């Protein structure tokens, strides 16, 4: 592929890098990732600082309404999304009939969203207030559906939503029964860090669907479909599995050499955007070290250092650092979530970012319509 600024020979079309790498496709006020600086933000706020100081609902308000709420707004918004979190009887019945052992929680979410939105109107026909109500509704029920599906797949009773609880606290309680304040606080930090992260594949997919004027549910499902791919949303569990695979940190160098020689990806290390330390990984590392002095945390920290050293020795000049998935799996394990819930938990946060982007795209009113460069056999014109 040629550079994004070059013109394809014989045409006015612009040829861009594979994967649209570094190609600007639109303007946004939602946030950005500055990979060379190791920094990302939501609106005008440092995202990691928000994760340190704010509650999930307040950052959600920021993403949807464009500002951090004052106390009265925070109380009202928390109550609003709390009331939306409960599932209706029809959705619960659908999940009871559809979820069997082996069904993934995010597959159940896909089903529940499709069912809930069956009579939904296109975004093109809705005003801003109606679009926002739809965005809040679907983001609010996501943790309830995921938690219910997880429990049903294990043959456990569903724990109903409690509108009086905070979003993160209720999700952890509905999933595991855990109401420990330290666990809730740690999980909230993680969920805030993963609400949004630039124009990743799932966010872009959701915006493409929304650009056609389609409905909120279809736009979210487009994002969710991209998110389900193992190159996108499925990494936290794989990173934690690598820790088990390595075992003793002394084995790390040989393990890394084997991965490099076979051309395998070192899960939990490196990022498509960051060229320095991932700020999300650094924050989550701080959280787990401060709150959980456990063998798992100690093991993860030791192995992280060994992997970085091994990469520097075996591939000089190749800077690969721990990414968010590396410590996300550790944190979720410490709060009591099993590997089967790692990616679904990631999705519970990211749906807030998706809906914010979908609302912004719907307001733009312009369909996304790129072109592909044909490289097949020369076509034969009719006589």
pLDDT tens sequence across 13-32: 677 788 787 788 889 999 99
Range with lowest mean pLDDT among 134-143, 285-294, 374-383: 374-383
> Cβ contacts of residue 141 below 8 Å, gap of 6+?
84, 85, 86, 87, 91, 112, 116
What is the number of other CB atoms lying within 10 angstroms of the CB of residue 242? 20
pTM of the model: 0.91
Q: Which residues are catalytic?
A: 271, 325
Look up tokens 């043959």; give the residue.
155
User: Which residues share a beta bridge with 340?
Assistant: none
- Of the pLDDT bands very low, low, confident and very high (cuts 50, 70, 90), residue 289 is very high
Give the pair of three-digit tokens for residue 180: 């420990």
Strands 39-42 and 31-34: antiparallel
State yes or no: pLDDT of 364 exceeds 80.
Answer: yes
**What confidence score (pLDDT) does residue 346 get?**
95
Short-list 258, 322, 247, CA closest to 289: 322
Q: Does domain 49-180+199-230+344-364 have CATH number 1.10.580.10?
A: yes
What is the number of other CB atoms lying within 10 angstroms of the CB of residue 11? 10
State yes or no: pLDDT of 226 exceeds 90.
Answer: yes
Fold that domain 235-334 belongs to in CATH: Cytochrome p450-Terp; domain 2 (1.10.230)
With H, G, I as helix, E, B as strand and everything else as coil, classify residue 116: helix
Mean pLDDT, to the nearest integer, of 182-210?
97
Please report, for the chain, the start and end positions of each structural domain, with discontinuous segments joined by +: 49-180+199-230+344-364, 235-334
Give the pair of three-digit tokens for residue 4: 């994004």
- Of the pLDDT bands very low, low, confident and very high (cuts 50, 70, 90), residue 239 is confident
């Amino acid at each position: 592929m040629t550079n994004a600024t070059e013109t394809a020979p014989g045409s006015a079309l612009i040829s861009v890098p594979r994967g649209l790498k570094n190609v600007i496709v639109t303007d946004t006020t939602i946030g950005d990732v500055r990979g060379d600086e190791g920094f990302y933000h939501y609106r005008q706020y440092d995202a990691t600082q928000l994760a340190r100081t704010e509650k999930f609902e307040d950052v959600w308000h920021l993403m949807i309404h464009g500002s951090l709420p004052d106390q009265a707004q925070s109380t009202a918004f928390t109550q609003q999304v709390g009331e939306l979190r409960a599932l209706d009887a029809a959705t619960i019945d659908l999940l009871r009939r559809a979820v069997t052992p082996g069904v993934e929680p995010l597959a159940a979410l896909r089903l529940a969203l499709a069912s809930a939105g069956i009579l939904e109107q296109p975004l093109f026909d809705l005003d801003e207030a109606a679009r926002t109500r739809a965005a809040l509704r679907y983001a609010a029920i996501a943790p309830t559906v995921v938690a219910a599906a997880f429990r049903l797949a294990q043959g456990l009773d569903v724990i109903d939503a409690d509108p009086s609880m905070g979003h993160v606290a209720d999700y952890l309680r509905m999933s595991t029964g855990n109401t420990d304040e330290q666990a809730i606080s740690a999980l909230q930090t993680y969920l805030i860090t993963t609400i949004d992260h630039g124009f990743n594949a799932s966010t872009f997919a959701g915006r493409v669907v929304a650009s056609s004027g389609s409905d909120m549910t279809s736009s979210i499902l487009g994002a969710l479909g991209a998110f389900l791919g193992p190159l996108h949303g499925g990494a936290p569990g794989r990173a934690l599995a690598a820790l088990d695979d390595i075992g003793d940190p002394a084995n790390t160098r040989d393990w890394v050499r084997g991965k490099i020689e076979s051309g395998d990806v070192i899960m939990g290390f490196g990022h498509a955007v960051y060229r320095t330390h991932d700020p999300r990984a650094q924050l989550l590392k701080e959280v787990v070290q401060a709150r959980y002095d456990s063998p798992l945390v100690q093991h993860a920290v030791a192995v992280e250092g060994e992997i970085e050293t091994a990469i520097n020795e075996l591939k000089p000049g190749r800077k690969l650092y721990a990414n968010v998935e590396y410590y996300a799996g550790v944190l979720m394990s410490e709060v009591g979530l099993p590997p089967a819930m790692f990616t679904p938990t990631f999705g519970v946060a990211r749906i807030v970012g998706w809906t914010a982007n979908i609302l912004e795209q719907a307001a733009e009113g312009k369909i996304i319509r790129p072109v592909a460069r044909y490289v097949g056999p020369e076509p034969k014109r009719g006589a």
